[in-house]
Chain A
């Protein structure tokens, strides 16, 4: 799984450079998030602009990261959701859990 990370003063932006976030690669996202947490970075923005498809495992990996960030007094926020991906968050009511922004700039400004 290709994830590019950019460090900013307030948060780190992790951009998922994959078309699918599913049961095949969601564990890799979990482990890359754990690496960030272990390095003391707990304010994280996940940029999903390249993700066209997400399944329950992908959603679960994001929830896991959200909870881990919260337990470290940080937060995990999302940006760049495509229309169908956004609809999955709405169907599972996860749009009420995550802070979701149109793009990286708005998400960074919220920290």
Chain B
């Protein structure tokens, strides 16, 4: 499994950086284009969106809008897998209750985790040394096989 691209970035815990991180996600989608038959514009949007949603959750719910904290994002691209990790420095937030079903259209909140789950193949949220990490994975295999998973203690959500 070749490591094709690795991006590590740490940004202050502020929503004004969502645009920057989303744009990096779109640029990574450009590198993915040759692996995937999907519409490049759609793929770019989806990666932008899952990064935006995960980072907004980290800023608001885990890091409680504390401007002295950071959000660390790690994007890793191999031949068969796109993995995005978003690290927060908080007590975590409960996403296990987020329903797999489409959220009630009458509610004005609660669609973030649903969107991430809809667009990625797997989502996990677990404790790490500095706080918590939300990991989102998308298989790039054309035949639908799941890529091998690394040895790590993750709690599926």
* CB–CB A53/B106 < 8 A: no
Listed from nearest, the 9 A-B pairs whose CB atoms lie closest are A56-B111, A23-B56, A24-B15, A64-B108, A60-B108, A63-B108, A56-B112, A84-B45, A97-B105
Q: Main secondary structure on chain A at its contact with chain B?
A: helix
Contacts of A72 in B (CB 8 A): none
Contacts of B16 in A (CB 8 A): 24
**CB of B134, distance to nearest CB on chain A (Å):** 15
Q: Which of A53-92 contact B (CB under 8 A)?
A: 53, 55-57, 59-61, 63-64, 67, 83-84, 87-88, 91-92
Between B18, B22, B105, B108, the greatest number of chain A beta carbons within 10 A of the residue's beta carbon is seen for B108
Binding site for B on A (CB under 8 A): 20, 22-24, 53, 55-57, 59-61, 63-64, 67, 83-84, 87-88, 91-94, 96-97
* CB–CB B53/A56 < 8 A: yes
Between A20, A23, A83, the greatest number of chain B beta carbons within 10 A of the residue's beta carbon is seen for A23
Binding site for A on B (CB under 8 A): 15-16, 18-19, 22, 41-42, 45, 48-49, 52-53, 56, 59-60, 102-103, 105-112, 114-115, 118
* CB–CB B53/A53 < 8 A: no
The total of interchain contacts (Cβ-Cβ below 8 angstroms) comes to: 74
Q: Main secondary structure on chain B at its contact with chain A?
A: helix
**CB of A69, distance to nearest CB on chain B (Å):** 13
* CB–CB B105/A94 < 8 A: yes
Pick the residue among B45, B102, B106 that contacts A63 (CB under 8 A): B106
A57 to B113, CA, bound (A): 12
Known contacts A56-B109, A88-B115, A94-B105, then 18 further A-B pairs from the complex at CB < 8 Å, ordered by chain A residue: A22-B15, A22-B52, A23-B56, A24-B18, A53-B45, A53-B48, A55-B52, A56-B114, A57-B56, A59-B111, A60-B111, A63-B106, A63-B107, A63-B108, A84-B42, A88-B49, A92-B105, A97-B105
* CB–CB A92/B106 < 8 A: no
Pick the residue among B22, B59, B111, B118 that contacts A53 (CB under 8 A): B22
* CB–CB B52/A92 < 8 A: no
* CB–CB B105/A96 < 8 A: yes
* CB–CB A92/B115 < 8 A: yes
19 A-B interface contacts by CB (under 8 A): A22-B19, A22-B22, A22-B52, A23-B15, A23-B18, A24-B16, A53-B49, A55-B52, A55-B56, A55-B112, A56-B111, A56-B115, A57-B112, A60-B107, A84-B45, A88-B49, A92-B111, A92-B114, A93-B102
